[in-house]
Structure 1
């Protein structure tokens, strides 16, 4: 039976005197600095996880299953998929992590049932192009350092937030998708508590602005759970699609939330 992941603390206070004293001690001792560096490297690695999400649109609800696997040598496999009656999809991204960055290898999306659609993106080390399959036609897209696919970008987002000193900043992302390479910004909108089937969760809220006023995209991420995605909302033509975390395990530990602490 999986162990419970450490509960989310729903209150944030200033550094204690003890914490400041420990920080001063670390700065004064090279041996402790080295130990802290090793601990930081371990803490910022992407831990394998399983997560179930409920997605709702047009009165229908579907469970999406997402899983991140690691071979322990820097190689990762991320899968995502779901099915409703005779329509479903499955997608998989293969990537490595080098020098704190996601290095994508390939991405494949396969529709199942009535919508038998396939998309692929393949990255070749050292090449200046990316091969992309879209609507049964292959395209050569320009590659620059940091270009991702539409699935691995989500793990790069987590990796960035795990490594940055200040996660409350706007984030630039470049994705090879379909017939073109897309650049966009995730704009930080604030700290928010999101209600989930697991309970209330502390999150960071980011928004992806669109040129089209009829489109909206927002994502909420939990810092206490290695920046796991908790919720997304996408609106197009006035029709919202919401994805909400229902359960998850990280490195085999089940995530859970703690009771909201009363104000002091």
Structure 2
């Protein structure tokens, strides 16, 4: 079940990436979308993910990502403030539960007054006083959306990593007309995750400017011949449904 676990983790790490059109002042709005995914490695393994962004009654936002399948379920959420075009993480929750996988959980609370991250699952506190730009996993994905909308073409994010921190870098590499599965030809901006030169893995993402830079496809390959593809099935942006 290694392939199934990799498919679920790829969905969790990437299917949630949203986006919007280039603008000087970036605002958030409610959105939801559904993605299909396929892993090819001798056999085809399929899955589906949904994501949503909603305001709360307290003026905060909550970003959710869910995977439902016959082998495992993922529930992931980020509660945050949005100030000066920046996602400020407050609470992050993650759970993976399945028949053939070890259950995994993560509960992080960000205390900006004290400059610490409380990891409740590991009973650990991480000093973030020198990492003021740190964001949780989903918060960083949402920040990518904000930065693409603002016209940035190189991006870097800092994410908590087992008591330490890890940098993720992305850059716009080209424009391309993409033949989507359901929506026909769509003009896209292609973003690549920047890795070490000798990395065996390549990750590319296609965002559609005409739909507020909505993610329409993700492709990940490695030297072992293992291919992931994640593709848009449906989306509603600020109450308007994307039509084929």
The TM tier, using the shorter chain, reads 0.7 to 0.9
- Aligned residue for 2:47? 62
Return 91-100 or 117-126, whichever deviates more.
117-126
- Aligned residue for 1:35? none
Distance 1:218 1:137, change over 3 A: farther
Return the alpha-carbon distance in structure 1 between the equivalents of residues 107 and 177 of structure 2: 36
CA offset at residue 129 of structure 1? 2.6
Return the alpha-carbon distance in structure 1 between the equivalents of residues 161 and 135 of structure 2: 9
Return the alpha-carbon distance in structure 1 between the equivalents of residues 109 and 228 of structure 2: 28
Q: Is 1:205 matched with 2:198?
A: no
- Aligned residue for 2:164? 180
Distance 1:90 1:101, change over 3 A: same
Q: Aligned to 1:249, what secondary structure does the other structure show?
A: strand
The alignment covers a number of residue pairs equal to 213
- Aligned residue for 2:83? 98
Q: Is 1:83 matched with 2:65?
A: no
1:113 to 98, 103, 122: 98
Distance 1:103 1:148, change over 3 A: same
CA offset at residue 139 of structure 1? 5.1
Return the alpha-carbon distance in structure 2 between the equivalents of residues 170 and 40 of structure 1: 16
Distance 1:175 1:84, change over 3 A: same
CA offset at residue 137 of structure 1? 5.8
- Aligned residue for 1:191? 175
Q: Is 1:160 matched with 2:142?
A: no
- Aligned residue for 2:231? 244
CA offset at residue 55 of structure 1? 1.0
Return the alpha-carbon distance in structure 2 between the equivalents of residues 47 and 75 of structure 1: 12
Return the alpha-carbon distance in structure 2 between the equivalents of residues 175 and 57 of structure 1: 26
The TM-score, its normalising length taken from structure 2, stands at 0.78
**What is the root-mean-square deviation in Å for CA atoms of aligned residues?**
2.3
Distance 1:228 1:133, change over 3 A: farther
Structure 2 stretches lacking a partner, 5+ long = 1-22
CA offset at residue 229 of structure 1? 1.9
1:46-102 deviations in whole A, cap 9, x for unaligned?
A: 111110000111401111111111137641111111122131211111111012211
The TM-score, its normalising length taken from structure 1, stands at 0.72
Do the aligned residues in 1 keep the contact of 2:188 with 2:207 (CA within 8 Å)? yes
Return 172-181 or 48-57, whichever deviates more.
172-181
Structure 1 stretches lacking a partner, 5+ long = 1-38, 258-264
Q: Is 1:225 matched with 2:207?
A: no
Q: Is 1:129 matched with 2:116?
A: yes
Return the alpha-carbon distance in structure 1 between the equivalents of residues 154 and 199 of structure 2: 20
